[in-house]
Amino acid sequence: MNCSDLTPFVLFFLNALEDVLEHETMVLKEKNETFKKYTKKIFEVIKGSKKADAEFLTFLAAQTLFSVDGARKIEIAQALNKSDN
């Protein structure tokens, strides 16, 4: 028959959640800026002559920055509309 107030616990939990979300938002913004720099550099180096190469390198850059597990061969093939052979 515990009738204690849970407000302090809920406030603590919500504050902790807010801190984590703010941190993750900052990390994602930094990664997005890095991705934009990589993409710009990729297209400067490729210079439009090999669009498939640029798409592949852009995909790998995205996987490197944003993926936890990287990309499997089948996922790379699907992203580039190619067969996995």
Sequence-distant (6+) residues with CB within 8 A of 76 are: 56, 59
Q: What is the pTM of this model?
A: 0.71
The pLDDT, as a whole number, for residue 35 is 95
pLDDT of 84 strictly over 90: no
* Span 23-77, pLDDT tens digits: 999 999 999 999 999 999 998 888 766 777 888 888 889 998 998 887 888 888 8
The pLDDT, as a whole number, for residue 2 is 64
Q: Where are the domains of the chain?
A: 30-85
Contacts of range 45-52, beta carbons closer than 8 Å, 24 or more positions apart: 52/80
The pLDDT, as a whole number, for residue 47 is 79
